[in-house]
Structure 1
Amino acid sequence: MDVTITPLKCLVRIMFLHLFSCFVLLMITAMVSIADDTYTSTFQSLRDGQTHVSTGGTFELGFFTPEGASNKRYVGIWYKNIPVNTVVWVANRDTPLTDSSGVLKITSPGILVLVDHNKTVWSSNTSSPAQNPVAQLLDSGNLVVIDKSDNVDPSAESFLWQSFDYPGNTLLPGMKLGRNTITGFKWFMSSWKSPQDPSQGNYTFQNGPKGYAEQIMMEGSVMKFRTGPWNGIRFSGAPHLSPNPIYTYNLLFDHDEEYYSYKLLNRSILSRLVLAQDGLVHRYTWIDRTQEWFLHLTAQLDSCDTYALCGAYGVCNIENSPACGCLKGFSPKYPKDWEVMDWSNGCVRKTPLSCNGDIFQKYYGVKLPSTEQSWFNTSMNIKECEMKCTKNCSCTAYSNLYISQGGTGCRMWFGDLIDITIRNFTKNGEDLYIRMAASELPTAC
């Protein structure tokens, strides 16, 4: 067969081969770029005036001066692509530099150090020595130290150090709020002293050291607020914490770790949890249309969230005036104090318990009491929980551990019941059964 190649066919073939070659070259370049992404964005030193951008361009690391603090320099991480300067982490928050001579660099064991005039101002630690340590800012906002000689993709297991283990006043998606139950290491938030001063302020927000899975706000050594225990869906005292289109959240029990964390459903959305200098916990979400942070929610709803406002066996209901009252079968311990709205000494029983003939009063939709003196079991049902509490004369109350599937598990309290709040829950409310003398007739709360 005689095959004739016309000039037009020849031109088409040449164009096809050219386009194909470009496509192959583009694919190879992309593959190399992806493969090298682990290390192309790493650094070993950073001087004042230089910045380092995260792998996806969301965050930026560098030196900064807070507005109104002209003579102080800090190393921090902030959102890169929004017009409102928003710092989410600070390295040397308690040891500011006084000029622009600072250098952040990696030392041979794999330790990040901030040096000013040959003096170490701040340093990290390391889990193990590294042959070729480098630092990298991930697009999650996590500043990590890795060993480049390992030639593996960065993962939490391979990090020699990470800033996510040391939150400041901001909890980003993927950060933890909790503790390692074996080592005792804690992930906690701490407030800034002021917008001009990122040094550690008066407030911390963390998992409670005792009891079952609740978060607490401390002002120094004094508890100011608690969320109530985790009930499988949310924290007992956080009715506004519910499934939403922005983020998911959970309290995780992962081997030797117990922690709260959240993740964004859409990575293009910016959302952060902030512990303000006045002790309030806020969640903000960035709104592109208005170019500002929108206050999504605040953990503390009202004055009833003040820890132990009504004292032992007192109950707070913001819809009442005054907000504090005594549980049924109880009366103010010091009535004259209550007349001037000092409820701190709480309430006492009108009728002593007899143990064998006691009954349980049911309260609906409450923020459960402090769990510092409590016990729990994940497999018992509510009837078994009642029987166990009834047989133990020291048991003052019980409830389900989780509210899903109609209620599962058992939680029992011993000693005084502190920090109870009644709210009008529309869903996912919790029931609390409080031990009473049999002479107190049971009525619905």
Structure 2
Amino acid sequence: MENFIIVIPMICFYLIFPISKTIAETDTITHFQSLSKSQTLVSKNGEFELGFFTLDNSTNHYYLGIWYKKIPGQTIVWVANREKPATNPNFVLLIINNTTMNSLLLSHNNNNVLWSVSVPRKLKNPVLQLLDSGNLVLREQNNDDENEEKNYVWQSFDYPGDTLLPGMKLGKDLRTGFVRRLTAWKNKKDPSPGTFNWEMDVTKWPEPMQRIGSMKQFSSGPWIGVDYGSKITREGERFFKYVYFSNEDEVYFAFQLDNNSVPMRMALDQATYRRLYLVWIDSDQQWLLYNLLPRVFCERYGVCGPNSNCDWNKSACDCLRGFRPNRAGSCLRDKPLNCKTDGFVKYVKMKVPDTSNCLYLNQSTNLVECRDKCLRNCSCVAYANSDIRGEGKGCALWFGDLNDLRTLPDAGQDLYIRVPASEIETNATLTDHSKEEQEEDPEVPYYDLSVIASSTENFSHENKLGEGGFGSVFKGTLENGQRIAVKRLSSGSGQGIKEFKNEIALIAKLQHPKGLLYLHQDSRHRVIHRDLKASNVLLDDEMNPKISDFGLARILGGDQTTEITQCVVGTYGYIAPEYAIDGNFSVKSDVFSFGVLLLEIVSGKKNRGDQRQNENTNLIEQAWNLWIEGRPLDLINEDLKESSNSSEALRCIHISFLCLQQHPHDRPNMSFVIMMLDSEIGLPQPKQPALFVGEYSSLNKSNLLSVNELSMSILEAR
């Protein structure tokens, strides 16, 4: 019957026997309204129907369930008494609401309870209602907000069977431990739970997981900000979207329809051990199998074994870099890790490993910080962004064996796997001063001297932009109208042809405005500049800064951020202490140089440029003394005081001290430096900076390759 609602007024019952056994004949029960074999409860939109049904016209197995009303064939989406069918049609659905017990139950005529639900509180006006979503709810009758979810004391969506409907949750209530999972029917004639199930594995980084019994069978991967990690893009998938929600109270997976007029459901099939995506095609009057999971060889959980990757395109298994197969076919470490010298290899378009042995960090952690955290923990074997939107954010670290890895054709994310240093393939030899000169780089375009001479009007004085450590720089225009800058190596240059070629190779690879964040993080080659200073920052005619002079820069291999050299090069006054003393340079040594530069900009002074000052004093030390005395604004250049905001200048000084801290791990990376400069977030208190007293001051300055300090007089962007 249309829009049928079961309403039972509050009645006081005294039950003699536990509800799990029988309802005693001596109990007084008033059947105000009930469902019988011929009655149904229909949602307001007419899409779903609740009633009693049998399978294959059986006359001795009766079930209470929900199905699509408008779709022929009675597609069942939920069953109440799936484990205990009635053996004849004489049964009733009741609401019991009394001082002793609050329950919704299905009772047989011999008073056997076939199915029951405990209600957490006493209801004044209980109402059982089938919603338009297909959700059966028991709620408190309230005319003001009768459809609001807060009045539900029980709902069928919390107890799914083999079918997930739009809006139904698959997940866990973290407060109570209550789990919402799907379980397949044993077979088409038996809706009782089979062995095939699907639930949310609530690890540090939750992921939906299909199982056959307790054996993992397929993982969708964790939520990576835009979708689940293993989802393959399907052309035309426009009518539904996945949903992921997680907070301290609950975590769940769901899906929503963009067009509610197209019925869709996900169902588990025990016969094939597949999750089916089914869409109703009204014109064909049938369910279309839109998708099924798992589909291919590589989607079977752990099909290649631990520490191995399954290539989707090849349907083949390969051990990860640094691992080799043994006679049994397992992938084992070829060489042991060395915590101090390990690096990482980057895998792209990956479904990340099983998250059961994953540590999930907060979303404010960027990729560089994530790598540093993994490096500092000798047990960490891999890391990745947990959110791939934009430039990526969040951090996930893995420990132990890496399971269920696969390369995807058009999805996934970058994954960084820890390997011994010997396994890292690097292009750093192009810039290694201790090795022989390399062959011409294929990425560098070459021009005849006649073309270059013609574009610069034979290196005319009118086209000269200025001078640097290598020699003069000229502007020019090629025949196609492209404007160029030409650096001509001078015979009197303080640097050699190796450094000159190194800079050319780097400029060819870095087709981007040369900021430190780009060099350290966004470039396809991680670059450490090693000589950042005021004279190596160019300004174009719109005062946009560009980093120049890559003669001393180094490309680091893979995802490497640190290297040790025997040849310390750079400019005295800008070099970080760990680099000057131990030859250890990294992204954090560039951050130190940036801190010096920032302090010079605010003060209008050079760190070591005024020879009239005492040899053992420098700008950093002067600034720090003013800071601890509470007079940091005294550092600001007089010409800036009138035109600048004192709070902004003070913030720049504060940030410079964070960049100048003695230990590299205390310094922020450039992405966080930029965030601090561009926002008003709170700043941590800096530790004492490296003041260059003692052993740094006693270094033989002649051992440092100091670059020409001349600044260019007319500057344009390169």
TM over 0.5: yes
* Aligned match of 1:373: 357
* Aligned match of 1:25: none
- How far off is 1:258 after superposition? 0.8
* Aligned match of 1:435: 418
Distance 1:241 1:178, change over 3 A: farther
Match of 1:297 among 291, 298, 322: 291
* Aligned match of 1:168: 161
Contact 1:179 1:258 in 2 (8 A): yes
Structure number having the greater strand percentage? 1
Match of 1:130 among 107, 114, 123: 123
- Written as runs of structure 1 = structure 2, the 5 A alignment for 1:301-316 is 301-316=295-310
- Written as runs of structure 1 = structure 2, the 5 A alignment for 1:177-192 is 177-192=170-185
- How far off is 1:40 after superposition? 6.5
Q: Which moves more between the two structures, 103-112 or 371-380?
A: 103-112
- Written as runs of structure 1 = structure 2, the 5 A alignment for 1:47-62 is 47-62=36-51
- How far off is 1:55 after superposition? 1.5
TM-score by length of 1: 0.84
- How far off is 1:97 after superposition? 0.9
* Matched AA of 1:316: C
Are 1:203 and 2:187 matched, yes or no? no
- Written as runs of structure 1 = structure 2, the 5 A alignment for 1:89-100 is 89-100=78-89
Note the residue ranges of structure 1 that are not aligned, 5 or more in a row. 1-36, 339-345
Contact 1:249 1:263 in 2 (8 A): yes
Contact 2:174 2:249 in 1 (8 A): yes
What SS is found at the alignment partner of 1:293? strand
Q: Which moves more between the two structures, 74-83 or 260-269?
A: 260-269
User: 1:9-46 deviations in whole A, cap 9, x for unaligned?
Assistant: xxxxxxxxxxxxxxxxxxxxxxxxxxxx9x97445421
What SS is found at the alignment partner of 1:384? helix
* Matched AA of 1:275: L
What SS is found at the alignment partner of 1:386? helix
User: 1:152-208 deviations in whole A, cap 9, x for unaligned?
Assistant: 312221011110110010011111011111111111111100111100010110111
Q: Distance in 2 between matches of 1:225 and 1:171?
A: 17
Q: Distance in 2 between matches of 1:243 and 1:430?
A: 22
Are 1:213 and 2:206 matched, yes or no? yes
What SS is found at the alignment partner of 1:376? strand
Contact 2:59 2:88 in 1 (8 A): no
Contact 2:383 2:395 in 1 (8 A): yes
What SS is found at the alignment partner of 1:290? coil
Contact 2:243 2:256 in 1 (8 A): no
- How far off is 1:352 after superposition? 0.6
- How far off is 1:93 after superposition? 0.2
* Matched AA of 2:399: F
* Aligned match of 2:151: 158
Q: Distance in 2 between matches of 1:192 and 1:388?
A: 46
Structure number having the greater helix percentage? 2
Q: Distance in 2 between matches of 1:162 and 1:242?
A: 35
Contact 1:73 1:99 in 2 (8 A): yes
Q: Distance in 2 between matches of 1:60 and 1:244?
A: 28
What SS is found at the alignment partner of 2:397? strand
Q: Distance in 2 between matches of 1:436 and 1:268?
A: 52
* Aligned match of 2:229: 236
- How far off is 1:91 after superposition? 0.1
- How far off is 1:149 after superposition? 6.0
Contact 1:397 1:435 in 2 (8 A): yes
* Aligned match of 2:96: 107
- How far off is 1:210 after superposition? 2.2
- How far off is 1:245 after superposition? 2.6
- How far off is 1:397 after superposition? 0.4
User: 1:274-320 deviations in whole A, cap 9, x for unaligned?
Assistant: 11113311111111111111112123131212211111101112433
Match of 2:386 among 401, 404, 424: 401
* Matched AA of 1:115: S
Are 1:140 and 2:133 matched, yes or no? yes
Match of 1:363 among 339, 347, 352: 347
Q: Distance in 1 between matches of 2:234 and 2:164?
A: 16
* Aligned match of 1:280: 274
Are 1:415 and 2:397 matched, yes or no? no
* Aligned match of 1:24: none
Contact 1:355 1:393 in 2 (8 A): yes
Are 1:116 and 2:134 matched, yes or no? no
Contact 2:5 2:127 in 1 (8 A): no
What SS is found at the alignment partner of 1:439? helix
Q: Distance in 1 between matches of 2:187 and 2:59?
A: 14
- Aligned pair count reads 395
User: 1:46-79 deviations in whole A, cap 9, x for unaligned?
Assistant: 1112111111111011110112644211000000
Q: Distance in 1 between matches of 2:177 and 2:235?
A: 30
User: 1:415-439 deviations in whole A, cap 9, x for unaligned?
Assistant: 11111111222xx430110000111
Q: Distance in 1 between matches of 2:341 and 2:385?
A: 23
Q: Which moves more between the two structures, 148-157 or 94-103?
A: 148-157
Q: Distance in 2 between matches of 1:206 and 1:241?
A: 24
Q: Distance in 1 between matches of 2:312 and 2:114?
A: 48
What SS is found at the alignment partner of 1:404? coil
Contact 2:4 2:42 in 1 (8 A): no
* Aligned match of 2:71: 82
Match of 2:250 among 236, 257, 263: 257
User: 1:359-400 deviations in whole A, cap 9, x for unaligned?
Assistant: 101111111101111112211111111111111111100111
- How far off is 1:254 after superposition? 4.5
Distance 1:362 1:69, change over 3 A: farther
Q: Distance in 2 between matches of 1:150 and 1:106?
A: 20
* Matched AA of 2:63: Y
Contact 1:246 1:266 in 2 (8 A): yes
Match of 2:314 among 312, 320, 325: 320
* Aligned match of 2:530: none
- How far off is 1:248 after superposition? 2.5
